[in-house]
Amino acid sequence: MKIFRLLYISRCASKDKFDAETMIFKISKHASEKNQALGITGAITFDGNDFAQILEGDKNIVLKLFEKIKLDTRHDNINLVKVQENVERHYAAWGMKKLDSYNYDELIRVMED
């Protein structure tokens, strides 16, 4: 089944590294649980300052979720990098895969598929 995918980057609002690391853990855990119910999959990564996230699924659901994400005060400077339509799901096994390190290259490769 073909799906819609988007990639965005944003800056973490917290300057406290421990707070930010705790935040990304909570975000990925919550998103993983909630996204599965919505039929959304994806991946998130964090370098201590910036987030990068891919969301995949039904176009309307992904865009609605992205609008909600843009209102989240835990980050700012939200930039939509790229969208794709009619692509194969890359993160099918993940409600939200948390990459262990900031691996923007993996996300770019996915968006180049």
How far is residue 46's CA from residue 98's CA, in Å, rounded to a whole number? Answer: 9
Residue 100 has pLDDT above 70, yes or no: no
pLDDT of residue 12: 86
Q: Count the neighbouring beta carbons within 10 Å of the beta carbon of residue 3.
A: 22
Provide the whole-model pTM: 0.84
Domain ranges (residues) in the chain: 3-112
Please tell me the total number of residues recorded for the chain in this structure: 113
Say which CATH architecture domain 3-112 belongs to.
Answer: 2-Layer Sandwich (3.30)
pLDDT digits over 38-70, tens only?
A: 999 998 888 878 888 999 999 999 999 999 999
